[in-house]
Structure formats: structure tokens, C-alpha cells
Chain A
């Protein structure tokens, strides 16, 4: 089991507010296990803080939330916290779960090439269906829940101390379980929930 986990969870728009809430569940779980948690939330989700805490605390696991592109992950107000050709070497000796769009493409390879043990991310947009009537309270949005829970499984398993390959597999299994459930039960909006689960599952990647 890791001793220290670092998480970024900006909260400056609708998407990041959902990521912020659902990552909070992982924080509580990690703290219950006695793991030291570095929570870079909201305006603390900056490159400077990420680098400083990595240098000081040497976390084994990085869980990075936010908007992203092929070669970077954004933090507060989308300013880059980790980027290819910038500070990817800071990820050396860590296992990373990046819940962002597209960074599973180039940034994953750059981080692993710079010494990261593994990188689980997404090579295309990370898509979440949501109930527009519940958007101010993500915890009550049962449409987003399956996507967020399946994606949480990758981070959850890294935090448990499982190897990245197992964490990736567990997340893929969680996605499939949610897909199977949607196919066999009634839920309003299930078509787009199914589409999002399938899209995210197929675009989740592991780089080692």
C-alpha cells in the first residue's frame, strides 16, 4: 500500500465540480487506510504546488483530475500542472491515474519515458452524462454516478496498493459491469449513459 497519495482536483466549472466531488470519495477511503493524502483542490491545483509536494513528500501515486489535452493536464483555471516537454520528469517513480481528456496519448508516453512506473489515462475526451436538474449537486446525479464510479476504480485500486495492470483491469471490469447493468435495467437517459460508459472504457489506456 502506498504511504502517500497526491491528488489534484480543481473546481472551476461544471465538469471539474463533478470530478472534485467524486475524487473526494477516494480521499476519504485513503485516509481511512492511514495513507497520507495531499489534496491539491481548487486554487491549490497548480504546477508549483504539484512539483513542490512531489519533491517534499515523494508520493507513490498521483491522481490528477481536470481538463487535458494530448500533452498536458490542467489544474485550476486549466493552467497546466503536468505537461510533456515541461515537467513530466517530476512524475518519475510514481504511478499516475489521469482523469482528464486525451492525456493518455502523448503525455502518458512522456511520463513513462521519464521514469513514471505507469500511467492510466484516456486517449480521447472523457465524457460524462449528467442530469441538468441536479448539476449543482453532483452527489445526487445518478446519471453521472456509473461513469464516475467506474473511473474511480482505477485510482481506488492504485491507492489499495494494487499494481497498475490490476488497477486498469479493475476499472475496465467496472465499466463493463456498469454497461451490463444499463443494458438490463430501466433508467432515464440510459442511451447516453451507455454511450459514455462505452466511449470511456474503450479509450482508457495503460502505459507502462
Chain B
């Protein structure tokens, strides 16, 4: 199943939300053609489960998974 089609579990969104809350207010992310997002905008994207929100959620999960590999 492609990553785009894969459902992201709610727990992952929850983790992503917590990590976003901890992010300093002056940090943003440039996500290619999708544009640049500040913290508040990322919160909306995550809440609305948009493609940007999904990308952000997957990034957080992968980061946490990588700690197991260290």
C-alpha cells in the first residue's frame, strides 16, 4: 500500500500534536511546493488531516522510530 493511501493511526496524530505543542513559536517548516507553515498553521493542517498534516505526522513517527536504531 502506498504511503499516501495508508491510514495514519490516531495515536500518531496525538504524538505529532504533542511534539508540535513543544515546538518553539518562531519555528516553521518549508514543505516543498506545499508552502511554508508556522506553528499555528501546522496545528490547523494536523487537525484537518491535510497532506501537510499527514507529512508532519509521519515525520514525527519516523523520528521517534529512529531512536530505536541509535
Q: Which residues of A contact B (CB under 8 A)?
A: 13-15, 18, 67-69, 74, 78, 100-102, 125-133, 135, 143, 183, 188-189, 191-192, 194-196, 198-199, 202
Task: Give the number of A-B contacts (CB < 8 Å).
Answer: 81
C-beta contact mask, B19-38 vs A, less than 8 Å → 1, else 0? 10011101111111111101
Residues in B with CB closer than 8 Å to A14 are: 30, 36
Which residues of A are found within 8 Å of B23, using beta-carbon distances? 189, 191-192
Contact B24 A126 (CB under 8 A): no
CB-based contact A188/B24 at 8 Å: yes
B residues near A, CB below 8 A?
Answer: 19, 22-24, 26-36, 38, 55, 59-60, 62-63, 66, 70
B59 near A127: Cβ-Cβ < 8 Å:
yes
Q: Which residue of the partner chain B has the closest CB to A128? A: B30
For A130, list chain B residues within 8 Å (CB): 27-30, 36
Complexed CA–CA distance, A102 and B55 (Å)? 13
Pairwise interchain contact A67-B62, C-beta atoms closer than 8 A: no
The distance in angstroms between the C-alpha atoms of A13 and B55, with both chains bound, is: 21
Q: Given A125-B55, A188-B24, A189-B23, is A195 in contact with B62 using a C-beta cutoff of 8 Å?
A: yes
Q: How far is the CA of A183 from the CA of B69 in the complex (A)?
A: 13
Residues of the B chain whose Cβ atoms lie less than 8 Å from the Cβ of A191: 19, 22-23, 63
* With known contacts A191-B19, A195-B59, A68–B26 Cβ distance under 8 A: no
Given A125-B55, A130-B36, A191-B19, the answer on whether A18 and B30 have CB atoms closer than 8 Å is yes
- What is the bound-complex CA distance between A195 and B23, given in angstroms? 12
Q: Which residue of B lies closest to A183 (CB)?
A: B70
Asked, given contacts A183-B70, A191-B63, A198-B63, whether A129 binds B32 with beta carbons under 8 Å apart, the answer is: no
Residues of B within 8 A of A132 (CB): 26-28, 38
Return chain A residues, CB-CB under 8 Å to B22. 191
B contact residues around A143 at 8 Å (CB)? 27
- With A14-B36, A15-B36, A198-B66 already in contact, the answer to whether A127 and B30 are too (CB < 8 A) is yes
Q: B67: shortest Cβ distance to chain A, in Å?
A: 9
